[in-house]
Amino acid sequence: MISDHPESVFTTWLPSFEKIQLANPAAAELLRLCAFLHSDAIPEEIISEGAADLGPALQPVAVDPFELNDAIGELLKFSLVQRDSVANTITVHRLVQTVVRAGMDEATQRLWAERTVRAVNRALPDFELAEQHLYQRFLPHIQACMTHIEQLHIILLEAAQLLFQGGIYLRKHAQFEQAEPLFQHALAIYEQKLEPNHPYVVTSIANLASLYRNQGKYEQAELLYRRSLARAEKAADHFSIATNLNNLAELYRLQSNYEQAELLYKQALSYLEQSLGLEHPYVATILENLTILYYVQGKLDQAEPLYERTLLLYEQTSGLNYFGTATEIGNYVDLLQKLNRDGDRVLAVY
């Protein structure tokens, strides 16, 4: 807390803040932004790519590399930040962050917390497309935003989107405990801001269910999958219905409830074939899961035609072979390895 620091901290840095405000107002705004991010290794793309959300003083500077360089240089001049020109990151001392935030009234703190959340959300790369190290460096800043979202009760769709995407990345990398509060808070915001059957709400419920499934919390997972399915059915969203049926089937397969799993896979397949057609790659995903189910039960005569159809679909639509290293119908070992992989086949992540 700021009260733990001597009063001289304020008097030491206050003249520097005032000089920066006069010499380069955008630099002062940049320091305010940095005060709401994690103190270490702030990616400069949060500034440049999140410029549209940073207010009228900082926005035009953030999109101009030369002006942004001048603004950062002003902060360097007073030793308020450090810059890594190779990694394109900025580091600010935590005490500087504390002093900057303490100098704001409550309304200004909220303003900059919301701007920070929006900017990080805008700059955040797609975790499916970005290299892992590029996405990984955003995580401390997502978690810093999570703190502000909780403490200031920020209810923005951008906040929910940021938390949801961070949660997806963490779940995919088996960081389940860290992902859980992000998913939970994202869902709480979506349910406050959107209609009960909105696709974002339905998807958010399903992904929280998948997290519980990954943790072996099967009862909690089933309740949420069924809640998501009910919302999708009310919205008459066939794709989302199929997704939830598939996920429930995967849950039952894990619990060796093969009869119920088979029923749900077939229902999911029917919905997808009706809504997307017989040759869509998502149809192949359900076929793949159903094929594996038959293999597990030793029903090779039922598995073989599905296997062949699945391979053909993947070759026609994407050239991908989701059976990994399996090269023949009888390669049961590879299929068992696949069953142990992390996560279910979530068909849609917005």
* Residue ending a domain, choose from 106, 133, 153: 106
90: three-class secondary structure by DSSP: strand
* Residue ending a domain, choose from 63, 79, 106: 106
Higher pLDDT, 7 or 34: 34
* CA dist., res. 22 & res. 223, Å (int): 57
Write the CATH number for 90.
1.10.10
> Does 133 score more than 60 pLDDT?
yes
Q: Domain range for residue 287?
A: 225-350
Residue 146 located in a structural domain: no
Contact residues for 336 (Cβ-Cβ < 8 A; gap 6+): none
pLDDT for the residue numbered 105: 94
Share of the chain above pLDDT 70, in %: 85
Q: What is the CA radius of gyration of the chain?
A: 25
pLDDT tens figures, 271-296: 998 888 877 778 888 888 898 899 88
Give all strands (DSSP E) within 66-169, no chain letters: 81-84, 89-92
Residue 22 located in a structural domain: yes
User: How far, in whole angstroms, is CA 47 from its chain's centroid?
Assistant: 20
8 Å CB contact between 52 and 122 = yes
pLDDT tens figures, 317-340: 654 444 433 333 334 435 444 544
> Does 130 score more than 70 pLDDT?
no
Residue 289 located in a structural domain: yes
* CA dist., res. 242 & res. 1, Å (int): 50
Stated pTM of the model: 0.84
Q: Which residues pair with 84 in a beta bridge?
A: 89
> Does 6 score more than 80 pLDDT?
no
Mean pLDDT of the chain: 86
pLDDT (mean) for 256-280: 91
Residue 331 located in a structural domain: yes
Residue 130 located in a structural domain: no
* Residue ending a domain, choose from 72, 91, 106: 106
Write the CATH number for 303.
1.25.40.10
Query: What is the number of structural domains in the chain?
Result: 2
- Position 12 confidence tier, pLDDT thresholds 50, 70, 90: low
